[in-house]
Amino acid sequence: MEETKVNMPLLGDTFPELHVQTTHGPMNIPGDLKGKWFVLFSHPADFTPVCTTEFVAFQKRYEKFEELDCKLIGMSIDQVFSHIKWIQWIKDALGIEIKFPIVAANDAVALKLGMLHPGKGTNTVRAVFIVDPESKVRLIMYYPQEVGRNMDEIVRAVKALQVSDQQGALAADWPNNDLIGDRIIIPPATNQADAEKRLQKSDTFECFDWWFCHKPLEK
Residue 213: enclosing H or E segment and its boundaries?
A: strand 212-215
Cα distance between residue 109 and residue 21, in whole Å: 11
Is residue 96 within 8 Å of 62, Cβ to Cβ?
no
The CA R_g of the chain, rounded to the nearest whole Å, is 21
What are the CA-CA distances from residue 59 to residues 44, 96, 105, 114, 213 (Å)? 18, 8, 21, 25, 38
Cα distance between residue 156 and residue 153, in whole Å: 5
State the Cα angle at 111 between 105 and 117, rounded to 5°.
90
3-state secondary structure of 56: helix
Catalytic machinery residues: 51
Residues near 21 by Cβ (< 8 Å), separated by ≥ 6? 27, 80, 103, 104
